[in-house]
Every structure is written in structure tokens, then in C-alpha cells.
Chains A and B, each alone.
Chain A
């Protein structure tokens, strides 16, 4: 509105230069994102030039009700929720504890913060390979540690539930740094005078946390909870690197990828059922939306109560 230099013709300049960014976004992200719903009602494949037919709710029906595959799909849905709850509970509480500890005047806090955040930067490929080596079943480090107490594990190659548990461990190892850093950012916004006042009143450590830190940290708590819940519902890439596609072990995100692009990655077009995969994607999206919105609603209500 206040762009008046140049005058006349150049009034169009901001529009012209905004256009490329906007067009790219609509064409490559927003449009395709919304089109996922449309594709879920078709029999689209991953091959070019094949006629795409409208088949209504068939993909959804097949995904949720047809035979053994549907049972595996429901299993994947349940595992997605278990994965989300386990990861969120541990990552959130551990992250909060570490952030509170690192927010004190302790020597070496910078080092710890850097170390815990490092895996976030390295990305899934390196995270996955580092842990595949660490969980090397033939006398690897973790095996040796377990051996000390007379235990043995097949780790990522073991029973599905066992491998699943290890993926949870790696997922938390990989993303805890993010939770910590966001909590620390929130903690630094709490003025030190509030702590001092509480301490003068004779409050102990636990009391200070409960009466001062926890309520004042509410907005950051909410951010972290929502991010971790949504993130872990959609997470699946570590499964790809750590375990591969195995029945009884996969989560929804992996099912979407495997059905739409072929489980063995870059596989032949015949296994690329993109309409079916889109339906799986929409089912996961609805789960994320319902859980995400419910969490947002509950947290907003709590925030109003706490900060009132």
C-alpha cells in the first residue's frame, strides 16, 4: 500500500515478482496436497499414459476391509498410534527435564545442547546407519552391553515388536534435540525475577518448577506437544533405513509410501498403486487432523485456565 516510489508502471512490480514464488507453491505443494483427496477415489498407477478411472470409495473399502491386507493395514494404524504415544511421552518428558537442567548455570551446557541436537542435522540416512551399526547383532556394542546382564537381542532383525521398540529408541535419539531446544527457547522467556521471588518465599526446587516454570511454560509445552504428536504420527523414514518393509512392523506413513511407490523402492510400475496409496494417505491425514485438533483444543482450554 505504501509502495509509491517509482510510481506509475512499477506499481505492478511487486505483483510480478511475487508471482514465481506463489505459482511454484501452488503448483508443487498446495495443489498436489489437495489433489491427494481426488486421487484417492481413482485407480491411478505410477505409469504415464494409462487411463485413470473414477472408482468411488473402493480404495477405502479395500484398505479397511479386504482380507489379510486390511488386517495388516489396521495393524499399521494401531502401531502408528502406539509409536506416537510412546515417542511423545518419552521425548516430551525427557526433553523437558534436560531443558530445565540445561537452563541452569552449569558448566558445559553448551556442549550438551550441541551434542543432543547433532542427530537432527545428520538426517535419517546417517541416523539409521549409525544405529544399524550400534545394534549390530553379532557382538556389536549394544549386544555386548546386554551380554553383561545375560541378555541377548536380535534387535532390528528380531521379532516385530522387538524391532519396533528399537525404532522408537532411535526416533527419540534422533529428535530429542529439537524438543530440548524449543523448551530452552521457552524457558529463557521466563524472567529471572519470578524465580528469585519464588526463592525468597522459600520455595524448593520442585515447588519452583510446579508453581512457576510449568505454568509459565504453557505456550511452549503446547507447541512441543503438538509438534511431537503430529511429527511422530507421520514419521516412518527411520523404518525404511532400519528395518525395511516388514509385515507386523510398519506404520501408516510407510504403508502409504510402499503401496504408492512399490515396497522395494523404485520398483516396477505394477506395484505402484497410487490411487490406493492416496486413500491410505488421506486416512492417515484424517487421523493426524482429528488427534491434532483435539490436542490443540484441549491445550488451548488448559492454557486459558492456567494463564487466567
Chain B
């Protein structure tokens, strides 16, 4: 009888220990899942935070900004001529801004006409960086200014455009 009682105690203890192990495993898995969800949330909030300032930062960077060329310094004004040259330098600037894709689109037409040095300025889309990307673009309206000439006199021409940027995932 006492022998049987002993065996029962061992069985009880074994079940108890297995139950404790399973409890710890489940608790650990739950903690890991929560932590991973938090990581994703943090990464997402950083990405959003970055995206908010990225477009205006890009438009005002020396490579894009109008500077003092078109009658005083303007915020979010892009020099179209500089952007055209930049489009030819996509290899040098491939990773410079930490973004996958930069495109500037005039909003004067529904039909997309990609700019090249041959057809510029008779076009409406300047593709500056075109790395393969799956992200959604962030966009902002900008003034797109360039020099034009009429009867031997050059003048400033500014139009409304949209800059679209796809940032790198974090």
C-alpha cells in the first residue's frame, strides 16, 4: 500500500513538473510574441516619423533646392534643371538619401511623359532614383522651377509638381 502511495507521489510530482515546464514555455512564447509585436510597432512609428520630415528635407537639400536663383530663397522649391542632371547621376546618389525611389511629377497632365536630356523640358516626369521597391510612396507638393527663354531673354518658370519618395524599410 505504502509502495503504491510512493509511486503516486512520484507521478504527481512528475505531472506537476511537466505542467510547470509547459507553463514557462507558454509564458516565454507569449512574452516573445508581445516583444516582437512591440518591435514592429516601434519600427513603424520610426518609419512614419522619418517619412514626415523626409520629403521636405529632400526638397530643401542642396542637390534639389532652388537656392537664390528664382527670386529669393523659397522653401520646398525644386530646381528642375538640377533635378534633370541628378537623374543622370543615379549611380552616385543611389544610397545617399536612404530612399528607394524619388520621382518628381508635374501635375499639369494625366499622360505621363518621362523626361530625358533629349526631350527636356517638353515632359512632365523626372525619375531620379528608381530602385526596386515594394513600399508605398510619400508625396508632397512643391514648386518646380526652371529657366526658359523667349526671344533671346531668359526668364523663370515655376509650376506646381509633386515629389514622390519611397523610403527604405527599417
Q: Do A and B come from one complex?
A: no
Q: Which residues from chain A sit less than 8 Å from chain B, CB to CB?
A: none
